[in-house]
Copies of this chain bind each other. A is one copy, B any other.
Amino acid sequence: MTVLVVGSVALDSVETPFGSADDALGGSATYFAASASHHTKVQLVGVVGSDYPMDKLRVLEGRGVDLAGLEHAEGESFRWRGRYRHDLNSCETLETRLGVFSHFRPKIPAQFKNAKYVFLGNIDPRLQLDVLGQVDKPKLVACDTMNFWIESRRDDLVELIKRVDLITLNDAEARQLTGESNLVVAARWIMARGPKTVVIKKGEHGAFMFHGTQVFFAPAFPLESVFDPTGAGDSFAGGFMGYLAQTDDLSEANMRRAVVVGSTMGSFVVEGFSIARLLEIGPDDIAKRIADFHRLVAFDATSHD
């Protein structure tokens, strides 16, 4: 199955203790697509300005990403500039210029409307709702969000989560949305309002999946060197959704595997700037890291004797 993603396509300028990148490919839909493309075909809906380096983005086409839903608007592309400190855990946003993204109104091409797997990247919940009105009958709709929308578009966001099957958000966002500091309670709060599945991402501390009465946890892979954390969450989502679409199996066992695939893709993207590592790796790298993940958490629960 194909996966449809709606989100931002941006140019990121990032400073880390290990180097910097200027106007590199970024945005939630870009990371998602680069990650998901390792698992299945991707349909991307977004907008870029007239200054976007399309030659670089078209590399994704060669990987099975359909850019027919990418709108080309007059003006500047969405630009984000940020700086990571020494420990890479805190990121300071230095500049956000929305450009053509500020007038983005997603238009789902006719040939994308029957998508069975839909990921609504982190954009205005009103636009996310609007997309839901444009697609036919998806088998699984997932959405992401961020603190800005939780503050400014709370009612729309609550309306949205009534209508999605799954939501991914980070621990701070889960606490902010629900007013609950305990993540188990926060996940329950969200599930009571709609989604059957809640994925709470904790960055370097891993990710929880709450699914019905079940809880699954996957750590972040312990890397010796993390280069640039940008895009880890969207690459996680791309791996997760891409794997689900590829296997077309929503059993709990398969969703657990999807979380591990997501964590695996997130662990690769942070090894380089932008989507660079996602363009380098192949199936063997992914399979090897999934096996490493398994060893990382494996223990024999039976008693010693």
Contact = CB atoms under 8 A, between A and B. Distances in A.
Nearest to A185: B224
A291 B215 CA distance: 13
Interface in A205-244: 205-206, 208, 214-219, 222-226
Contact of A217 (B88, B254, B297, B303): B297
Given A206-B205, A222-B208, A249-B304, A216 B299 contact: yes
Given A294-B299, A298-B256, A205 B208 contact: no
A107 interface: no
A256 B218 CA distance: 16
Contacts of A110: none
B247 A219 contact: no
A215 B292 CA distance: 9
B182 A226 contact: yes
A183 interface: yes
A284 interface: no
Interface in A249-277: 249, 253-254, 256-257, 259-260
A115 to B, nearest CB: 20
Contacts of A223: 182, 184
A87 B183 CA distance: 11
Q: Is the interface of A mostly helix, strand, loop or mixed?
A: mixed
A290 interface: yes
Given A215-B222, A217-B222, A291 B301 contact: yes
Q: Which of A87, A183, A205 has the most CB of B within 10 A?
A: A205
Contacts of A300: 253, 256-257
A184 B222 CA distance: 7
A132 to B, nearest CB: 28
A296 interface: yes
A249 B305 CA distance: 11
Interface in A169-190: 175, 181-185
Nearest to A294: B301
Contacts of A103: none
A126 interface: no
A296 B216 contact: yes
Contact of A297 (B181, B218, B304): B218
Nearest to A87: B181
Contacts of A208: 222
Contacts of A101: none
Contacts of A205: 202, 205-206
Contacts of A304: 246-247, 249, 254, 257
15 contacts: A86-B181, A87-B175, A88-B181, A182-B226, A184-B222, A185-B225, A202-B205, A206-B219, A216-B296, A216-B298, A253-B300, A257-B301, A259-B299, A260-B301, A291-B301
Shortest 5 CB-CB contacts between residues of A and residues of B:
A294-B301, A205-B205, A256-B299, A247-B304, A297-B297
